[in-house]
Structure 1
Amino acid sequence: MARDLLSDALTDLRADAVVTGHFTLTAPWSIRKGAVSGAPFRTCKGQPVYIIVQGQPPVRLEPGDFVLLPHGDEHILCSSPDLPPVDFDALMAAQGMRPRFDTPLEFSAGGGGARSDLYTGIVLYQHSARNPLFSVLPPIIHVSAHDPAVAPWLANTLQSFIEESMRCQPGWAVAAARLADVLFVQLLRAHLVPSADRAGWLRGLLDPHIGQAIALIYRYPQREWTVDALAAAVGMSRSRFSARFTELVGQTPIGHLTAYRMYRASLELTGGRRRLIDIAESVGYSSEKAFTRAFRRWSGLPPSRYARERMAALRAR
């Protein structure tokens, strides 16, 4: 059941765009990358690379390993952790370069010693901060190339991703985004399933009873769920269910239901193809007024303004 529920939770994850790059780096070198509104992942060939996120121990990235930064935190990439870093934007500016969505970024830097080929991608997801999945992810996920939880074909998928992004053949942007989805899901599976003892939403998802309740919420957000109805659906008393759900998930059942409804609604709003009342009803609200009030509490904006600002941001990419 855990893997089926995990699939349900990952269903809404779709990459909007991918920024890719190939950096040829020769030791000694150290680069500071600022925070981004996306999920960067890294892999390398040649010499190992170190990745340092503030508050976390340095991670040594061996050739063929993967590192994912789900929250896009600032980090340092280097050939050795004791080197002072150079700002990435300043390094690119010195070479007359800037990141672009329509062209992969390629550049070289370093002191001329041992070579590392670093392949990078920044996967941009709509509303990632609001997706329940992201709330349980750590700042950095490191998956070894030899990890048995990694599917054997993942390396081939990564190679395909690199080739698609660097060749820029017709349709490469769509192909790279879809391959990024596959990579992202595989990396999450490799990380999430072995670490199910961690507190939060995932811990609730993998609990036999609370997981069923979460699955019902995700599959049928339009239903008129109450704590009593959810508890009865999973065979628990109201008080025991409510206490167990809050303990594991960190939210009350109705709080989690509301947050998920608003997240689903935000995806529909950005699509711009449905009437507001239809979106409201699809997530359990019988009136636009009630839905608008709940959505404003969740996002800080009324639905119409939220949709305009999100679509404008996507067009600007």
Structure 2
Amino acid sequence: MTRPATAWTALDAALRGLRLDGALFFRAEFTEGWAYRSPAPDELVRILRPGARRLIVFHIIAGGTCWARARSGERLWAREGDVVVVPYGEQHAMGGAETAEEVPILELLDPPPWRTLPVLRHGAGGGRTDIVCGYLHSDHPLFNPALRALPPLFVVRPPEGPAATWIRSSIDYALAAGSPAPGTDRTATKLSELVLLETLRLHLATAPAIDTGWLAALADPVLAPVLARMHAAPDHHWTVQQLADTVAVSRSVLDERFRQVLGRSPIRYLADWRMHLAENLLATTGHSVAAVAHRVGYDSEEAFSRAFKRAHAVAPGTWRREQLTGTGHRDQHGHRHH
């Protein structure tokens, strides 16, 4: 599904407007078998950014393969060059291919403050996975867990090209010996911001209405509560009346507001949002096409497959194989042409 250039301009402009600040906070060398569990969000804030309401956490996979899982979610697999994003800083776990006990990560790190970027080494001595971890802080509604605009944890796989090359060079910088303490190196701090912005740009490229006012809609007093309900339960058979009741407006007022800010009706937005979620599930989980269809609100695999093919010109199974093999021609923005 190719997006017009104006959509990318709007997305880039919107993301540039995000106010972010943070740092890299450790790098890790894990060997099979290994697994760890992150601190609870409030504990993470206390250690890294006292006074903040929440933090955004990201993990760049510098080498190897691993899984990541939000506390209430499933395992998503990531490989070298991928970026794992935990947009609301929720407690999560990561691990390798072999079974291992999840160890609290604070037991593996020296207590702060850190004079240099901590290097965490953990595991049973098998195959190695290198990870660079960072955090950022932002008060933008995009990172408000109540709106659920983003999954609690997701994996971004940059397409071959400038984005992947740039993230790779960022990894090399972060892995350089003698890295200073987290938050003390302005270059590393800016690096965290740029990596997250690029990762969000890639992830949101298929989100509905990015070319109009999606980020602004998250702060809209009428649209934000309605979007929150859709995002929380995309498999629910919503009616416009149910959604309008959420904010005590008429169906016509809600429909007009959606068209004005998001460029589409509420039900069309819901259909586009379901397709966005389906892409994520197909790319990062082993769920069957039927299971993905059910998770995003389709009554049958056949109905989902028809809708998916209308949006992507290929069936879900074919699209998934292309994601895994990297086949197909991509344009300058990383979108595939068939």
- TM-score higher than 0.5 here? yes
Corresponding residue for 1:86? 103
Q: Which has the larger radius of gyration?
A: 1
What is the match of residue 62 of structure 1?
79
Partner of 1:176: 188
| 1:24 counterpart SS class | strand
| Match status 1:31 vs 2:36 | yes
Q: Following superposition of structure 1 onto structure 2, how do residues 91-106 of structure 1 map, counting pairs within 5 Å?
A: 91-92=108-109, 97-100=110-113, 103-106=116-119
Q: Percent identity?
A: 22
Decide whether aligned partners of structure 1 residues 7 and 132 sit closer, same or farther in structure 2, where only a CA change above 3 A counts. Answer: farther
Alignment RMSD: 3.7
Q: Quick one: which amino acid aligns to residue 107 of structure 1?
A: L
CA contact 1:42–1:66 (8 Å) conserved in 2: yes
- Residue deviations 1:3-23 (CA, integer Å, cap 9, x gap): 222233223323332142121
Q: Does 1:112 align with 2:129?
A: no
Post-superposition CA distance 1:255-304 (Å, at most 9, x none): xxxxxxxxxxxxxxxxxxxxxxxxxxxxxxxxxxxxxxxxxxxxxxxxxx
Instruction: Give per-residue Cα distances to partners, 1:111-164, cap 9 Å, x unaligned.
Output: 2222222221122x1324576898522112212254569454332233234439
Q: CA deviation at 1:110?
A: 1.5
Cα 1:206–1:104 shift into 2, 3 Å:
same
2:180 alignment partner AA = C
Give the TM-score taking structure 2 as reference length: 0.53
* Cα distance between partner residues in 1 of 2:99 and 2:215: 48
Give the conservation status (yes or no) of the 8 Å contact 2:81–2:167. Answer: no
Note if contact 1:161-1:180 (Cα within 8 Å) is conserved in structure 2.
Answer: no
- Cα distance in 2 between the residues matched to 1:72 and 1:64: 21
Measured at CA, do residues 46 and 191 of structure 1 come closer, stay the same or move farther in structure 2, by a change above 3 Å? closer
SS in 1 for 2:74: coil
Structure 2 Cα separation of the partners of residues 212 and 89 of structure 1: 35
Tell me how many residue pairs correspond in the alignment: 215
Is the CA contact 2:142–2:149 (under 8 Å) kept in the aligned structure 1? no
Letter aligned with residue 10 of structure 2:
L
Q: Check if 1:167 corresponds to 2:179.
A: yes
1:242 aligns with 2:257: yes
For residues 208-239 of structure 1, the C-alpha deviation after alignment (integer angstroms, 9 at most, x for no partner) is xx67996xx9xxxxxxxxxxxxxxxxxxx988
TM-score by length of 1: 0.56
**Bigger helix share:** 1
Superposed CA offset, 1:10-57 (max 9, x none) = 233233321421212222111111233322211234431221113332
Alignment correspondent of 2:205: 193
| Change over 3 Å in CA distance of 1:175–1:115 after alignment to 2 | same
**Change in CA separation of 1:3 and 1:28 when aligned onto 2, cut-off 3 Å:** same
* Contact preservation (8 Å) 2:135, 2:192: no
What is the Cα deviation at residue 81 of structure 1? 6.8
Offset, 1:172: 5.4
